[in-house]
Amino acid sequence: MSENEISKQILDAAFLLHSKLGPRLFESVYEVLLAYELRKKGLTVERQKPMSIVYDGIRFDEAFRPDLVVDGKVIVELKSLEALSAVHAKQLLTQLRLSGLKLGLLINFGQAHLKNGIKRIINGQLQEEQLPSIALPSPL
């Protein structure tokens, strides 16, 4: 499954949770329940996964812990705040760069309308979906 397909599954589950529970519960509640919903969809979800980095030739284990890593491809950072700030997006981009992953979702369950609390962060360029090639008729 591609990053884009995974992100759609994540967002569908996030909208479901937000519609059922509403905004501004503790972040940890959304984390547990979003992981549950994604697993029900057959996705692999790691909560608070320790991620290592290499600095100055030395590997540092547990350098950071994303809220969720889905199918080993997408980092999800959850918030339950009145508003996101630029530092939240920068933090997620840094996590993507350090992990080598391409796509991250920043989801703020603190918003009255969840669509206003979602940021999609891309590290580099995502692979385009493979589309079937179409043979065009030759010009006359």
Q: What is the largest CA-CA distance in the chain?
A: 66
Say what percent of the chain tops pLDDT 70. 89
Mean local confidence (pLDDT), 33-49: 98
Domain borders along the chain are 3-122
Length of the chain: 140
- 106 Cβ contact list (under 8 Å, min separation 6): 77, 79, 84, 88, 89, 92, 118, 119, 120, 121
Phi, psi of 94 (to 5 degrees): -65, -45
Enter the pTM of the model: 0.85
40 has pLDDT over 50? yes
CB 48 within 8 A of CB 32: no
Residue-level pLDDT at 130 = 40
The residues with which 126 forms a beta bridge, in sequence order, are none
Average pLDDT across the chain, whole number: 90
Q: CATH classification of 3-122 is 2.40.50, yes or no?
A: no
Query: Which pLDDT score, from 0 to 100, does residue 129 have?
Result: 46
Give the pLDDT confidence score for residue 86 in this predicted structure: 93
